[in-house]
Structure 1
Amino acid sequence: MGAALTRYRVVANVVGVVLIVLVVIGMPLKYLGNDPVVVETVGPAHGFLYMVLLVTAFDLGRRARWSLGRMVLVMLAGTVPFVSIYAERKVARQVREQVRRPEPEPEPVAR
């Protein structure tokens, strides 16, 4: 699960930074400065990277045995500036704790 967590952490941080650039720099330039170049270049990059985030979050969620609701919330975190970075930190902490705690072995079935 360590490699899946690392992939998710890298992608979530990159998506978060790209979204912040898009919203904080690109949108004001487009709508206040009539210069859409940042939105036209960073926007598609964010869209592609967000799809990669969906795949990495799904992979991590499947390995960590998350509920569907939790998986969807983690995936949606990439759509709000700064939230994907916050969610990445929280998810990483929780997954590390889950890895440290050994899962209880199933009780043997008496015959």
Structure 2
Amino acid sequence: MENKIGTLRLVGNIEGWSYLALLFIAMPLKYFAGIPMAVKIVGMAHGLLFIGFVAALVDASLKHRWGRGFSVFGFVASLVPFGTFFLNKKLIRLEEKHCIGI
């Protein structure tokens, strides 16, 4: 994909949903229903998606020459529940600005 911001948004959204699934579906299944396999499966998927998100963040940061501040913000956003969705809104604005050429 040539559009690095679009790739980051896509991976970020999927990673964000996997994080919510881990926290609000898999963890309760493990601790309240005694099904630890849920965390193993969802946790593995989320871990791989998190690595993909960090790779996409680094790739977009280098291509668009984002400062350390925004890159760190993007990383921290991925650690907070719902953070990638907040980051997505900022990325939409950046993507629109980049497409317009401002």
TM-score by length of 1: 0.81
**What is aligned with 2:97?**
97
Structure 2 SS opposite 1:38: helix
Conserved? CA contact 2:6–2:95, under 8 Å:
no
**What is aligned with 1:82?**
82
Conserved? CA contact 2:8–2:60, under 8 Å:
yes
Give the share of equivalent positions with the same residue, in percent: 30
Whether 2:63 is the aligned partner of 1:63: answer yes
Residue segments in structure 1 that go unaligned for 5+ positions in a row:
103-111
Give the aligned length.
102
CA RMSD of aligned residues (A): 1.8
Q: For the pair shown, which has the larger CA radius of gyration, 1 or 2?
A: 1
Q: CA deviation at 1:96?
A: 2.0
Q: Deviations over 1:18-73 (max 9, x none)?
A: 11110011111111222112111010111111011011011111122111121011
Q: Greater share of helix residues, 1 or 2?
A: 2
Query: Which runs of at least 4 in structure 1 moved beyond 3 Å after TM superposition?
Result: none
TM-score by length of 2: 0.88
